[in-house]
Chain A
């Protein structure tokens, strides 16, 4: 079942067209990878899905994005509710310079959940879901910046998990991590897809092949090809995809 339906989506920064007529459906509780060279619109596309591009001046969008059959660019759409439902993991681990505890319950506080007991339950549950509980349960008051890069990235995912989103957008979540940490985060993604729909932007083609069920290849603002990962990697239909995958280009 498709949870996200994108129809004829175009995005302009001023006069520059960064996304050209994108059509794409994302399946629920699967991992969809977006690959392609730098500056080709993958991250921009990802940021359309939780409307982070709204924060940038001079951005103009046409076409429609439906999440769970609601048009998220409709005037009356609840933007804060959207961002609660569609969480984002960024390229660099970016915990707030607060305690581990305050980081995880941040989203709860923002959405008006202030009951200590509920907060502590969710805290434990979200940290457990990213396998960080055992490591940090004795130092919840420590500043989150004292954790290692990989732990910080886990913490950022736990911070999202606490508000119980349905979709996780991951913008090159491993690019600041070493290979061992990357493997750990990938294992985590595998578990997380039981609960969430995951869309991951990555530079790393092997990563896309390893973790995803569906893959989309972006080039210069076009979605060149989209399909099942095994098909894209074994028999791409478009010659541009093949050139990229075989390393002739990009």
Chain B
């Protein structure tokens, strides 16, 4: 079939435009819908009082604290491991079979469904290592889920530091470690931070893996060994068991606003990072 190239161009343009519009529309629809249903519930009280009566009334304070605790815990574990692995892969070893295996393994890790992580965390940390449903078990499990993202973004950030900066550093008599800590990491920091912040978003939103490992206790957590319910889990239980749809939407609104803010910060940082080297 032959179409006039000019008409063809128009048609293609229109189709691509519709596709793009659809993507944006879905995003805005979700955000609008959740905020429309959830914002009326939101109030200072909703954020600062503990849930009462299984969440039927009261606020979501303890779940906010639970979410923060679990996120910090997972990042404290995943960031050093991930950045360390990235440094090893980019600076301390040459491309070889082993690095390809490590990279492939890390890619596979990111493809595993989160419920499998949950089950794995439940078997290993909760039962075998007797940590119980706790912030610690949940944090460790989440950390494994976050690792691939942190490794990949850190690797990209480190690779984007120009090689001549390494050369200068060596030519001034630095060791490899001095070069990594004084030149490479400071230059790569915004890129690494972007990965970490995106992981925060993932950590905040994760449900399946958390419900298996951190449990769903509504009490305020008191230690690393307390079970705790995150906002995402709280939303899931409120909606799934039909406890209170208004409160579920309220929780969802807080979640979505949090994640939006996190993504905006990450986007800004990434932009700054790209500008620095272009």
Q: Judge whether B27 is part of the interface by a CB distance below 8 angstroms.
A: no
* Nearest-neighbor residue (CB-CB) of B172 within chain A: A107
* Nearest-neighbor residue (CB-CB) of B175 within chain A: A80
Q: Judge whether A90 is part of the interface by a CB distance below 8 angstroms.
A: yes
B157-193 interface mask toward A, CB cutoff 8 Å, 1 = contact, 0 = none?
Answer: 0000010111111111111001000110011000000
> Which of B94, B171, B182, B276 gathers most chain A CB within 10 Å?
B171
Which of these, B94, B167, B172, B186, contacts A110 with CB under 8 Å?
B172
**In the bound complex, do residue A111 and residue B173 qualify as a contact, i.e. CB atoms below 8 Å apart?**
yes
A32-40, A64-72, A94-102, A199-207 - interface stretch: A94-102
What is the CA–CA distance of A88 and B172 in the complex, to the nearest angstrom? 8
What is the CA–CA distance of A159 and B165 in the complex, to the nearest angstrom? 13
* Nearest-neighbor residue (CB-CB) of B164 within chain A: A94
**In the bound complex, do residue B168 and residue A84 qualify as a contact, i.e. CB atoms below 8 Å apart?**
no
**In the bound complex, do residue A81 and residue B182 qualify as a contact, i.e. CB atoms below 8 Å apart?**
no
Which of these, A57, A98, A160, contacts B172 with CB under 8 Å?
A160
**In the bound complex, do residue B171 and residue A87 qualify as a contact, i.e. CB atoms below 8 Å apart?**
yes
Q: Judge whether A131 is part of the interface by a CB distance below 8 angstroms.
A: no
A110-B174 CB under 8 A given contacts A92-B164, A96-B183, A97-B187: yes
**In the bound complex, do residue B170 and residue A107 qualify as a contact, i.e. CB atoms below 8 Å apart?**
no
Of residues 90 to 113 in B, which have CB atoms within 8 Å of A's CB atoms? Answer: 94
**In the bound complex, do residue A96 and residue B172 qualify as a contact, i.e. CB atoms below 8 Å apart?**
no
- We find that the number of chain B residues with CB closer than 8 angstroms to chain A is 20
Q: Judge whether A233 is part of the interface by a CB distance below 8 angstroms.
A: no
What is the CA–CA distance of A94 and B182 in the complex, to the nearest angstrom? 15
**In the bound complex, do residue A50 and residue B276 qualify as a contact, i.e. CB atoms below 8 Å apart?**
no
Measured between C-beta atoms, what is the minimum distance from A169 to chain B in Å?
8
**In the bound complex, do residue A109 and residue B182 qualify as a contact, i.e. CB atoms below 8 Å apart?**
yes
Contacts of A4 in B (CB 8 A): none
Contacts of B168 in A (CB 8 A): 88, 90, 94, 96, 156
**In the bound complex, do residue B165 and residue A83 qualify as a contact, i.e. CB atoms below 8 Å apart?**
no
A52-B167 CB under 8 A given contacts A80-B173, A97-B276, A106-B182: yes
Q: Judge whether A1 is part of the interface by a CB distance below 8 angstroms.
A: no
Q: List 17 A-B contacts (CB under 8 A).
A: A57-B94, A80-B173, A80-B174, A83-B170, A87-B172, A90-B168, A90-B171, A94-B162, A96-B169, A96-B187, A97-B165, A97-B186, A106-B182, A107-B172, A110-B173, A110-B174, A110-B175
Residues of B in contact with A (beta carbons under 8 Å apart) = 94, 162, 164-175, 178, 182-183, 186-187, 276
In the complex, given contacts A84-B173, A96-B168, A163-B173, what are 18 additional A-B residue pairs having Cβ atoms less than 8 angstroms apart? A52-B170, A55-B167, A83-B172, A88-B168, A88-B171, A90-B168, A94-B162, A94-B164, A94-B167, A94-B168, A96-B169, A97-B276, A106-B169, A106-B172, A106-B182, A107-B173, A110-B169, A163-B172
